[in-house]
Structure 1
Amino acid sequence: MKRYLLLICILLSSVSLMAQDENTAIGVVVNAANRKPLEGVNIVNLNSVKGTTTNNEGEFKITAKVNDTLHFSYLGFKSIKVRVTNDWLKFGSAEITLTVLHEALEEVVVNQLRLTGYLEVDIAQVPLPNDNYRYSISGLSRGYEASKPSGINKIIGSIFNPADFLHRMFGKKPNELRKLKQMKEDDEIRNLLASRFDREMLTALLKVERVDLDEIVSQCNYSKGFIQSANDLQILDAISECYEEYKLLSRGRNDRL
């Protein structure tokens, strides 16, 4: 009797492990040039909004289902997307190869100012600093950042535009708006985004172009300085907070009608 119970326990354990493996994609990421493993590669499941990184042997494990898309990115290498197949989940590890990305150096302009020796003329050539201001609104937890306006009405009027722009961007793809909340709640995703400045992972997750992403943040009254210097996590939080604040303002506006 004891033998039968032991056999049943073993079978149940095996079934449990098989079920667990079928929901997990495992593999190793290597350099296509020399087959050496790559440590610290960022991997994100674009469907479930889950993320991870490779260990010092280039190995990774991530929750995934058949037909999910995994996004692999690594500094200095070309990013790729890989679809999860049934064979991959059933039969074990996959090898993912990344190719070095050769970037052309941009032209650098030196000595942009032509000094004349006349103080008044030379001072006029120096660009003025970009003064940014924060505007506080009653009922909201934070203010808006914007360049110095010609009048406060310009800022107040623009506050009601961001969500309209967000809906124009994501109106036909409501799942992408829901991903904002998922990304904010996943610690692994937040850690990955905090170390990035290229917007590549954000554009892949939200399925927008880089120029559209910058435009969204700009429409939410963030300055050029913020857009250029913020990391990907700050950009994510800016978009998410902008949308949440719009809903608050919109709710208040509807209550008054």
Structure 2
Amino acid sequence: MKYFVVFLFIITSISTVAQTAETPTKISGTIISDNTGSPLANVNIININQVTGTTTDDKGNFELAVTQSDTLHITLLGYESLRVRVTNDWVKNKKTTIQLTQKAISLKEVVVSPYYLTGYLEIDSKLIPIKEDFRYNISGLGQGYEAGQYAPEAFGKVLGSIFNPADLLYNVFSKKTQQLKKLREMRKDDTVRNLLETKYDRETISLLLGVSQDEIGEILGRCSYSEAFIKTANDLQIMDALSSCYEQYKILKKK
């Protein structure tokens, strides 16, 4: 009987510890500049594991629900991005101070290529190059397909992407199923969306999805998004494009 009680106590303890570790708890922190020691406002903190986020107030303070060993991705314009692991001490103490390092910004040479205009609208409108990207919609599919600049083979490229998803997308999507499922969570969190709307470096998307920036371009290219869109869209537009591409792929795969 005594051994049974000891065994029951051990099992209960293990269960309690496991449950505590899995249950999100709120932690807080203050983010400061390592150069001046002053608090930094509007810093974006993204929990990569839970796909949730928050921002610091004017005193550099923030709160966020985490579990132990979650990784936080911390970004602020003009400062080096930082990844911080949530430790057991942080969970116990509930609060910590984090320092961000300011970026050393070097100005690159800018070459301006002027357009020599005549002042006549009809002539000048032909002198300035206009790049157009076409998207095609096919009845029965909610997804638009972008084929880049107009060309005779553009529509054929779109059809190839639609009717041969296994050839074009399987190698990418089949290996990233778990990561791409995060797209739904990313779209729900306003902090994540607001952050991505202001970024163009693909860093946060790459980190959240566990894919490289080259893979992001490959996925969108195989979904017939133009090179211009892939290069110039902000990270929120890229995330929505990835999500649409993945959802469409799942539909086509079932069919």
Query: Normalized against structure 1, the TM-score is what?
Result: 0.77
Q: How does 1:47-62 map to 2 (within 5 A)?
A: 47-62=49-64
Are 2:251 and 1:248 aligned? Answer: yes
Instruction: Give, in whole Å, the separation in 2 of the partners of 1:161 and 1:30.
Output: 51
Instruction: Give, in whole Å, the separation in 2 of the partners of 1:164 and 1:49.
Output: 31
Q: Secondary structure at the match of 1:43?
A: strand
Preserved CA contact (<8 Å) 2:24 2:65: no
Superposition deviation, residue 229 in structure 1: 2.9
Deviates more, 1:237-246 or 1:139-148: 139-148
Q: Secondary structure at the match of 1:28?
A: strand
Superposition deviation, residue 234 in structure 1: 1.1
Preserved CA contact (<8 Å) 1:162 1:242: no
Q: 2:108 aligns with which of 93, 98, 106?
A: 106
Distance 1:215 1:177, change over 3 A: same
Partner of 1:220: 223
Partner of 1:65: 67
Q: How does 1:149-168 map to 2 (within 5 A)?
A: 149-151=151-153, 152-160=155-163, 167-168=170-171
Instruction: Give, in whole Å, the separation in 2 of the partners of 1:53 and 1:170.
Output: 32
Deviations 1:45-65 (A, max 9, x none): 110101111111000111111
Q: Secondary structure at the match of 1:159?
A: helix
Q: Percent identity?
A: 44
Instruction: Give, in whole Å, the separation in 2 of the partners of 1:163 and 1:84.
Output: 39
In structure 2, list runs of 5 or more residues that go unmatched: 1-19, 117-123
Q: How does 1:11-30 map to 2 (within 5 A)?
A: 23-30=25-32
In structure 1, list runs of 5 or more residues that go unmatched: 1-18, 116-122, 253-257
Partner of 2:145: 144
Instruction: Give, in whole Å, the separation in 2 of the partners of 1:189 and 1:165.
Output: 29
Partner of 2:194: 191
Deviations 1:23-72 (A, max 9, x none): 12210011110011110111001101011111110001111111110000
Preserved CA contact (<8 Å) 1:170 1:176: no
Q: Secondary structure at the match of 2:151?
A: coil
Are 2:179 and 1:176 aligned? Answer: yes
Preserved CA contact (<8 Å) 2:26 2:94: no
Q: Secondary structure at the match of 2:69?
A: coil
Q: Which amino acid in structure 2 is aligned with residue 198 of structure 1? A: D
Q: Which amino acid in structure 1 is aligned with residue 141 of structure 2? A: L
Superposition deviation, residue 186 in structure 1: 2.3
Instruction: Give, in whole Å, the separation in 1 of the partners of 2:160 and 2:54.
Output: 41
Distance 1:165 1:105, change over 3 A: farther
Distance 1:166 1:205, change over 3 A: farther
Preserved CA contact (<8 Å) 2:25 2:91: yes
Q: Which amino acid in structure 1 is aligned with residue 187 of structure 2? A: K
Deviations 1:118-177 (A, max 9, x none): xxxxx9xx7853221111111112421112232332320123466766553454443211
Q: Matched residue pairs, number?
A: 224
Preserved CA contact (<8 Å) 1:162 1:216: no
Distance 1:77 1:233, change over 3 A: same
Distance 1:223 1:57, change over 3 A: same
Are 2:133 and 1:132 aligned? Answer: yes
Are 2:94 and 1:92 aligned? Answer: yes
Distance 1:209 1:78, change over 3 A: same
Deviations 1:67-86 (A, max 9, x none): 11000011011001000011
Q: 2:209 aligns with which of 206, 210, 217?
A: 206
